[in-house]
Amino acid sequence: MSENEKSRRIYLSSPTMHGEEQRFVAEAFDTNWVAPLGPNVNGFETEMAAYTGCGYAAALSAGTAAIHLGLKLLGVQRGDVVFVSSLTFSASCNPIVYEGAKPVFIDAEPDTWNMSPGALERAFEKYPNPKAVVVVHLYGTPAKLDEIMEICSRHQVPVLEDAAESLGSTYKGVYTGTFGRIGVYSFNGNKIITTSGGGMLVSKEEALVQEARVLSTQARDAARHYQHSKIGYNYRMSNVVAGIGRGQLLHMDAHKALKNKIYYRYKEAFADMDEISMNPMNPDGDANNWLSCITLKEGCRVTPTAVMDALEAENIESRPIWKPMNLQPVFADCDFFNHNADGISVGEDIFNRGLCLPSDIKNTDADMERIIGIIRGLF
């Protein structure tokens, strides 16, 4: 390996651009459609709906904006209770607080690292009438959707599916983001496809998506003058950004295949080491493996921090597992339901013992061998 290759930064998950993005963006410039809305926005929504089978889609400025509007469309108001996965990024639950509602956190389960059906059942025993349930597909692995959807259906509570990390993942052959009444995708810079920043709200119900479009463009009434009968938001995706997304979507399946290749290369490399375990896959699903993660055996002398420090010393980016929301200072007063009968929660245990490995689809075979060699060398 050359000195140049050794000094090159290896990223956790950086954008991978192709030629088509520039074509769609150039078209926006050539036609002067650089303001919000336009043919690229319409095209991106139509193409995402066709790819995922979600029904209808509204392109927005961020995945967080999509979650916020999704909660509003489900009727979440001040004082309402909303159940939400605890092992996730804060964007999954911050919009609950935007509306003055109360997040109640549900622990992960060890089989997929996603919302625990058992903990969810116990939450319903204490809070029988939550307004909504926000289910996250962590790092691209589908949650136990059969159990979760059955529980929510039995209690007649709608599901908002946070598929921000799982575009392209399927559960029993159906794309994540299409099981709940509302689904959300993110196109942040590190996601499996990107628009630099952006998100999408999807639903099988056309009326919900149409209302999202209204709310995201300041809720202007159908009048010649500027008239507003409800509060709106400046959440719509721009036509330029949507052009990037259209070009990226053409490579979605190729990106997923490369993410899978990275995951299984790590899995093969650590198969003979009982100190290291890969993040689990749902046997009923097909993950996009957005990020490949490991946990270290309890009591292992090598810590996640030691692994991250060793990689960083070689100019290689990694990062901790999401710190569970029930452990965050800002949510200290919120209720939490542990998957375990007692003791440490599943989410906290994964956070304590885990880390996310470099999962950039531009990683070469040499990059992967270098990463693996550094980690194995610690043991």
**Which of 234, 249, 264 is a domain's end point?**
249
Same domain, 205 and 122: yes
**4 inside domain:** no
Residue 116, domain CATH: 3.40.640.10
Mean pLDDT for all residues in the chain = 96
Same domain, 241 and 261: no
Give the distance, in angstroms, between the CA of residue 222 and the centroid of all CA atoms in the same chain.
34
Residue 293, domain CATH: 3.90.1150.10
Same domain, 71 and 177: yes
> Which pLDDT tens digit goes with each residue over 180-214?
999 999 999 999 999 999 999 999 999 999 999 99
Q: Which amino acid is at 356?
A: C
Residue 48: the pLDDT is 98
Residues 6 or more apart whose Cβ sits within 8 Å of residue 62? 186, 188, 197, 198, 199, 235
**12 inside domain:** no
Angle between helix 39-52 and 239-249 (nearest 10): 30
Same domain, 241 and 257: no
Question: Which residues span the domain enclosing 87?
Answer: 20-249
**Model confidence band, residue 37 (pLDDT cutoffs 50, 70, 90):** confident
**C-alpha dihedral, 37 to 39 to 42 to 48, nearest 10°:** -120
> Which pLDDT tens digit goes with each residue over 115-169?
999 999 999 999 999 999 999 999 999 999 999 999 999 999 999 999 999 999 9
Residue 36: the pLDDT is 73
Give yes or no for residue 3 having a pLDDT over 60. Answer: no
Give yes or no for residue 2 having a pLDDT over 60. Answer: no
Residue 323: the pLDDT is 98
> Which pLDDT tens digit goes with each residue over 312-369?
999 999 999 999 999 999 999 999 999 999 999 999 999 999 999 999 999 999 999 9
**Alpha-helical regions (H) of the chain:** 3-7, 20-30, 39-52, 63-73, 94-98, 117-126, 145-154, 206-216, 239-249, 252-269, 304-313, 346-353, 365-377
> What is the share, in percent, of the chain residues with pLDDT greater than 90?
94
> What is the share, in percent, of the chain residues with pLDDT greater than 70?
98
Report the number of distinct structural domains present in the chain: 2
